[in-house]
Amino acid sequence: METRAAAERKVYSVAEFNRRLATYVGRVRDVWVEGEISELRRSPAWGTVFLTLKDTRTGACLSLTMPRRRFDSIEPALTEGERVQANGSLSLYEARGEVSLRAGTLERVGAGDHAAALALLRRTLAAEGLFAPERKRRLPRFPRAVGLLTGVDAAARGDVVAAIATRYPAVRLVIAETRVQGPWAPGAIVTALGRLSACDGVDVVILARGGGSFEDLLPFSDERVVRAIAGCAVPVVSAVGHEQDEPLCDLAADMRAPTPTAAARLVVPDLDELRAGLGRSRQRLGAGTGRALERDRARVERSRERLAVAPRLLLERRRSALDRSAARLQALSPRATLARGYAIVRAGDAVVRDAGTVSAGGLVEIELEQGGLGARVEEVRP
Amino acid sequence: MSEPSFEELQRELDEVVARLERGDVPLDEALALWRRGEELHRACVERLDRAELEIEDLRLGDGSGRDSEPPGG
């Protein structure tokens, strides 16, 4: 092909080209386009609502704008994932050379394919018990190694590394960077998760991905990925997208974190807290030993006191035993018998027990309690 | 035998403290526990002092090559 001489070319500046292009584009009026709403951006501060219409079969996209008041008047309010037919005219944003459909009308066409499919999958997996609270596993308190699954060069990587390095560096971090977007992402995520959880020492895995559009996060709601998380050999912490996105991986994970940094905080203990705890343990150690010493000192003290009073106690015990013996002796003495009215009869030195041992007219001595009698025997009755 | 993990050391320290605090151990044993506790405490602190984050990248080799998509943001 021959190149025309530079002088003969008709050359446009970009601005001029875009201006001319705009007039062509502007001729496309009153067209109807059907697709699924994604990346809906609406702010009360803006007069225009921006969204992307997406072809669910091929993924082809078209930018669409609509005056905010018109958009807000649609009842019930449209949300991402819904299927709509849009009517309007094409316009070119000259500063960027981008075409968008300026819609005057947006009509809902049933439920969006993706959103409906996702809702169905969610119900199915929930019915299977995949999201049940009793399935959730506790995270290890001191993981030997932490697995991190994230997109290549993702900010999430830096966040997790920084959070762990400052919080608890006594750990190994095994990182698997993989595709997290596009049709191959689910398979890649499942593979990476399997490899990570099989790594020696990996006791917990963080699944991290920053925010993105509904479509960007779809791999994290893929059935294969969700099942792989539920069946993972070690607990999984999910930090995917923003809180309101709630991809299905969040429901299957053992714990969800709002950000990769928060996920890192969940999986490792805090170094400062650990140090403080160790300090407290040491104090209690000293206090416990001190108490044991104090207790034994008190015990020795008590023993000494008891030792001091022991001889006196012994003496008192002996004395009272002696008193008791004296009383018993007293009870056995003949004096006591005489006191009861008995008398002792003696003939000479011998006590008279048998009438036959004395004879009539003999002398006997009778001993009474008080005094005694000298008597002569009048009669003997043997 | 491999080196005990930080978790094992800390658990033993907690046990030693708990035994001492029950207060029913003889003095000799209490002193032995205290010595063991001090040893464990020192080992734990040393472990934390020399800790350094170790990062290891997993080569996935899944044939897909490196992800060329922009990082999620």
**Each residue of A350-379: pLDDT tens digit?**
888 888 888 888 899 998 888 889 999 988
Selection from B41, B48, B61, B15 nearest residue A177 by Cα: B61
Q: Report d(CA A160, CA A148) in Å as an integer.
A: 8
The alpha carbon of residue A36 is apart from the nearest alpha carbon of chain B, in Å, by 22
> Counting Cβ atoms within 10 Å, is residue B23 exposed (0-12), middle (13-18) or buried (19+)?
exposed
Query: Does ipTM come in above 0.90?
Result: no
Q: Name the minimum distance, in Å, from the CA of B1 to any CA of chain A.
A: 17
- How far away is chain A from the Cα of B43, in angstroms, using its nearest Cα? 11
> Alpha helices, DSSP H only, in chain A?
14-25, 68-72, 113-127, 155-167, 185-198, 223-230, 248-252, 260-267, 271-332, 334-339
Region A202-209: mean pLDDT is 94
Whether the CB-CB separation of B69 and A177 falls below 8 Å is answered with: no
CB A83 within 8 A of CB A34: yes
Q: Which of B17, B48, B58 has the CB atom closest to A170's CB atom?
A: B48
Instruction: Answer whether A142 sits within 8 Å of B25, measured CB to CB.
Output: no
Tens of pLDDT, residues A52-106: 999 988 889 999 999 998 998 776 677 788 889 999 999 999 999 999 999 999 9
Q: Does A242 touch chain B (CB under 8 A)?
A: no
- Please give the backbone phi and psi of residue A354, each rounded to the nearest 5 degrees, phi first: -130, 125
d(CA A217, CA A189): 12
Residue A67's pLDDT is 95
Q: Rg for chain B (alpha carbons), in Å?
A: 22
CB half-sphere exposure, A235, CA atoms < 13 A: 20
- Closest residue on chain B to A152 (Cα): B67
Whether pLDDT at A189 is above 70: yes
Give the number of beta-carbon pairs within 8 Å between A and B: 153
Contact A105, A46 (CB under 8 A): no
Of A141, A184, A293, the CB nearest to B64: A184
Q: Are the Cβ atoms of A281 and B17 closer than 8 angstroms?
A: yes
Which pair of tokens denotes residue A90?
């094409």
Contact between residue B17 and residue A288 where contact means Cβ atoms under 8 Å apart:
yes
List of chain B residues whose C-beta atoms are within 8 Å of the C-beta of residue A141: 7
pLDDT of A107-126, one tens digit each? 888 655 667 778 888 988 99
Tens of pLDDT, residue by residue over A279-320, are 998 888 888 888 888 888 888 888 888 887 877 887 888 888
Helices marked H in A29-112 — which ranges?
68-72
Residues whose CB is less than 8 angstroms from the CB of residue B69 and which lie 6 or more positions away in sequence, other chains included: A151, A152, A179, A180, A181, A182
Residue of B nearest to A293 (CA): B27
Rounded Cα distance, A155 and A8, in Å: 50
